[in-house]
Every structure is written in structure tokens, then in C-alpha cells.
Structure 1
Amino acid sequence: MSPLPRGANVSLSRENPQLQTADVTIEWGQVDPAFDSVLAMAAILVGANGKAASQEDLVFFNQLQAPDDAAQWAEMQGGEKVRVQLSRVPDSVERLAMVLYIDALPASVPRTLQNLQTCVVKVSDASTGSTMVTSENMALGFHSETASIVAELYKRKGEWKFRLVGQGYAAGLRGVLEEYGVPR
């Protein structure tokens, strides 16, 4: 399996028609421990209008699951993951935006995602553990952003698909939440 490049997409349902639960993982590997403690992943459940319906549609370390248990956040060594139970994703949700961001840093320690040497996104079948998709090293495309929508898991014509995005935000998670209309 060759790494999926930024901007590419793949049909998960076609590759695995029995897929029930997908793990979307962002791995950043070994980094400075001070930097590792502020890197975080979030998932935003987004409707057809391009907006989240409520603050409950943001899944991250302070809100571990979405309504109906459709998505759950988990920490892991050198990264984080969101487990998505596909049948529990409400029909009103068109996609899940996967976000990598810098949570908080003292002003004396400016960091951006460009400080990462590695950022790999993987999609696995949670029931078997088999990896279905692996991205290229997305860290090579980061610059001054403090948050990035690295990927999307989305429904199209009854099929679950996955797309690498890599859209950066200098305004950090705040900028992402504003774009998706997540109430604060």
C-alpha cells in the first residue's frame, strides 16, 4: 500500500464492505516532550451546510465522545485517534473533519506545526486492526499554521470515503471552530 498524498481520497466502503468501525489516527511520533504535551487531535461532526450542529459535535480530550457514541477520542503513544462507529453517525452529519492543533503554549515558546518532523494519518478497521489507508508525511507541508484539518471521513451516496486535506490555520483551533460554526 503506497502512502496516500495530500488531496487524494479513497473509498473505504469499496475496500472493506463490512467496515463498521473505523479508527482515524494522527501519529506525530517522538517530539520534544514539552511540545508533545500541547499537540492534540479533534474531530468535528459537520452537516451538509458545512457547520457543526452544536458544541457536542466537537470530540477531543475534554469531550471524549459525540452524541450517540458515534465518535470517541483516545490518546495513544506518539499521537491520538478518533474511533468512528459508522452506523451511529447521524444522517444529518455529512463528514467528520479531523484536526491536528497546538492546544496552548506560553508566548515565550512559539511553536507551529512546522516544528513537527512527522505527521502521518492512518485509517484502520477497528474490528481487525488492519490498516486501510496511510498518508504521506503531512508534516513536510506544514508552515506557520497552529492547526490543520488533516483529513475528512465522509459519506457520499451511501459510501464512506476518506480524504487527506492539509488545510492550515494560523489562528489555531479557534479559526477551525469559527469556520465550522462550533459554538463556544
Structure 2
Amino acid sequence: MSVNLSKGSNFPLTRTEPGIASVVVGLGWTVHSGPGDIDLDASALVLGADGRVLSDQHFVFFNNRSTPENSVRHTGDNKTGHGGGDDEQLAVDFNLLPAQAESVVFVVSIHTEGNAAASTFGRVRDAYIRVVHQATGLEMCRFELTEDAHDQSAMVFGQLHRRDGEWKFRAVGQGYTTGLTGIAKEYGVNV
């Protein structure tokens, strides 16, 4: 049975499912009509204990679909946001993550052609992030974002983090007005 999380709360993945090797992180949303088309993109950053990306190749997004060791993989870019289920997914293999990896941050950003004023989460509804046990296909936890983010163009939806050898998922919901570039720079990616 899946657990619904509130902002800032944690779910103990490896304590709940000892021996879990991998998860799929699904992200979804609904885009309301407005001026210009918008494309939401999921990405992930693998961070060390210092809170910075291990390398530029540990920033996984639509143009870099996997880390060098294949520990985090983007399954593909949904450019329309239409259809049921997750709009985009990232697979995480705990056994392949480098030893120095302490967390994986999951971001959704908005890409637009032209009208930058229309490219905010003000047009996004029903946004969520969920963690699925890859071997069983069962949803373990979910966080539904409910805060108004009308002026923000990128958002950290959630984070996997390792504490005392155990992996947990944290519901974050932190918006940024600086877009994906701003988030990438904050975590040490050379852009």
C-alpha cells in the first residue's frame, strides 16, 4: 500500500523493503491551456555529501539520458504531457550508484518556445512524484504538490537520500524562478 507524503516528510525505502535494488521515480502533471505550448522535463542530479553533483555526467536530463555507470536513467521525454500515468520516469539502481553518492534530486522544469512569461508552474495542475519498487511494480510512496508556484519555472519535486546506509525518499516541493539552468548551477553543474 502506497503512503501519501506531505512536504518535507520522508519515507524509509530500504527499511520498508530490505534488499530493494532499484526504483522507478515517476513524475506527472496536467498542463492547462494558455498562450504558447510548454514542455515539462524531468531531470535528476546525483550529489555527493557536499551537496554538489558528482560530475557533469551525473546530471541526467533529456540530452544526457544516463549517468556513466548507468545508475540513474531517464526513460524518455514526453513533450506533450498528454495521456494517463506518469509523464516521465527515471530509473535508479542503488547497487550501481557510486559509493560517494549521498542523494539523487528530482527536478521538473518548463521549456517553452517563445513566450517566457507563459512558462511557469502557474499553468501546471495535479503535479506529483511517486516511487515505485522496480521489481514488483508497486507504488511505495507519493507526493502530490499543492502549493501555488505561479512565478516559478523549475521545481525540485523530491529527493532520494542515503542516511546511515539506508535510502529514504523526501518530499521537497521547492520552486525556483531561475529555471533548470539555475538549479543546475546551484548543484555545481558546469552550464
Q: If the length of structure 2 is used for normalisation, what is the TM-score?
A: 0.88
- Aligned residues of 2:31 and 2:124 also touching (Cα < 8 A): no
Say whether 1:145 aligns with 2:148: no
1:154 to 136, 143, 161: 161
Shifted more, 86-95 versus 25-34: the winner is 25-34
CA deviations on 1:123-176 (whole Å, 9 max, x unpaired) are: 00111100000112x044423110011100011101010001111110100110
- Aligned residues of 2:75 and 2:89 also touching (Cα < 8 A): yes
- Find the counterpart in structure 2 of residue 134 from structure 1: 142
Describe how 1:52-91 pairs up with structure 2 within 5 A.
52-75=53-76, 77=83, 79-91=87-99
- Find the counterpart in structure 1 of residue 37 from structure 2: 34
Aligned residues, how many?
Answer: 181
Q: Which has the higher helix share?
A: 1
Q: If the length of structure 1 is used for normalisation, what is the TM-score?
A: 0.91
Specify whether residues 30 and 169 from structure 1 end up closer, same or farther in structure 2 by C-alpha distance, changes over 3 A only. closer
Specify whether residues 30 and 116 from structure 1 end up closer, same or farther in structure 2 by C-alpha distance, changes over 3 A only. closer
- Find the counterpart in structure 1 of residue 172 from structure 2: 165
CA deviations on 1:96-136 (whole Å, 9 max, x unpaired) are: 00001012331366220121111111100111100000112
- Aligned residues of 1:116 and 1:139 also touching (Cα < 8 A): no
CA deviations on 1:73-101 (whole Å, 9 max, x unpaired) are: 01365511110000111011110000010
Specify whether residues 60 and 121 from structure 1 end up closer, same or farther in structure 2 by C-alpha distance, changes over 3 A only. same
- Report % sequence identity: 29
Aligned AA for 1:97?
A: V
Specify every segment of 5 or more residues in structure 1 that has no aligned partner in the other structure, as ranges. none
Q: Hey, what's the Cα distance between the residues in 2 that align with 1:111 and 1:103? A: 7
Q: Hey, what's the Cα distance between the residues in 2 that align with 1:108 and 1:51? A: 28
- Aligned residues of 2:14 and 2:167 also touching (Cα < 8 A): yes
- Find the counterpart in structure 2 of residue 175 from structure 1: 182
- Aligned residues of 1:7 and 1:164 also touching (Cα < 8 A): yes
Specify every segment of 5 or more residues in structure 2 that has no aligned partner in the other structure, as ranges. none
Q: Hey, what's the Cα distance between the residues in 2 that align with 1:63 and 1:148? A: 19
- Find the counterpart in structure 1 of residue 50 from structure 2: 49
- Aligned residues of 1:28 and 1:120 also touching (Cα < 8 A): yes
Q: Hey, what's the Cα distance between the residues in 2 that align with 1:2 and 1:156? A: 20
- Aligned residues of 2:31 and 2:123 also touching (Cα < 8 A): no
- Aligned residues of 2:3 and 2:140 also touching (Cα < 8 A): no
SS at match of 1:174: helix
Aligned AA for 1:20?
A: A
- Aligned residues of 1:114 and 1:139 also touching (Cα < 8 A): no
User: In angstroms, what is the RMSD of aligned CA positions?
Assistant: 1.8
